């Protein structure tokens, strides 16, 4: 029986690429989304991957949806915490709501998904939790104190939970993407984007599929000795 993988924010951009690669690897994939119903419907029609709408920042809703997914498709063995939002602005102009929403979804969503699925993984003796961080959570970014804090928090969350899961066969890892050619990055003004690319040693933006292949490895049987790690996929833009 195929293992079940849930990808949050899994119908667009990096999340869509992750959903497709895991499907290719033989997982039964369920994609979470929070926004556009029509685009999610088109995603399911195109890929055959069911899409379920809920806000991962809502603790109770996340728990109930994970229970429902397990009842419909089988126990959840792989979680990819990819869902995230931005509410950029310098601190002196940032509202509490802009801070709180990013923390609630980007970091709180990781907690909510893990809380709903980690106990079952632990009981079954196998599981994979893969959290999508960011280069900006490692290096910081002007105008993103909320986003950088949430993504940095994801890296700490990963290392702590990895220690709890290790002896039960549950690995917890993170991937920190650099600048990837998604719709979000495409919206950056051309002159700004040129300056960003100029700082990337390989000389280009990354592709969503490159992040997805990293996820596929961490979700595999072969990655059982990898836990508590952060895989940086950023073209050499930030190294440490």
Q: What whole-number distance in Å separates Cα of residue 9 and Cα of residue 53?
A: 9
Strands (E), 54-148: 76-81, 127-132
For residue 147, indicate whether it is catalytic. Answer: yes
Q: Which tokens sit at 3? A: 């293992």
33, 142, 147, 240: the catalytic one is 147
| Tokens describing residue 22 | 């895991």
C-alpha to C-alpha distance for 230 and 119, rounded to whole angstroms = 23
Helix H or strand E segment including 232? strand 230-233
User: Which among 56, 57, 52 has a CA at the least distance from the CA of 32?
Assistant: 52
Q: Which of 49, 45, 2, 53 is CA-nearest to residue 26?
A: 2
Q: Tell me which residues are annotated as active site.
A: 147
């Amino acid at each position: 029986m195929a293992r079940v993988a849930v990808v949050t924010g899994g119908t667009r951009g990096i999340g869509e690429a992750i959903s497709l690669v895991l499907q290719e690897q033989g997982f039964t994939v369920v994609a979470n989304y929070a926004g556009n119903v029509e685009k999610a419907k088109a995603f399911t029609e195109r890929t055959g991957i069911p899409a379920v709408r809920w806000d991962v920042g809502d603790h109770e809703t996340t728990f109930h949806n994970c229970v429902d997914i397990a009842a419909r498709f089988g126990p959840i063995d792989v979680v990819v915490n990819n869902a995230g939002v931005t509410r950029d602005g310098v601190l002196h102009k940032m509202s509490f709501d802009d801070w709180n929403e990013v923390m609630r979804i980007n970091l709180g969503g990781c907690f909510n998904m893990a809380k709903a699925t980690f106990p079952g993984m632990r009981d079954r003796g196998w599981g994979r939790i893969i959290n999508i961080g960011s280069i900006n959570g490692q290096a910081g970014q002007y105008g993103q104190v909320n986003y950088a804090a949430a993504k940095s928090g994801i890296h700490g969350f990963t290392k702590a939970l990895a220690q709890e899961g290790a002896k039960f066969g549950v690995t917890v890892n993170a991937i920190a993407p650099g600048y990837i050619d998604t719709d979000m990055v495409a919206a950056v003004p051309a002159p700004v984007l040129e300056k960003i690319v100029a700082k990337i040693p390989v000389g280009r933006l990354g592709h969503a599929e490159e992040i997805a292949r990293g996820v596929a490895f961490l979700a595999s049987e072969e990655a059982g000795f990898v836990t508590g790690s952060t895989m940086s996929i950023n073209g050499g833009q930030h190294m440490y």
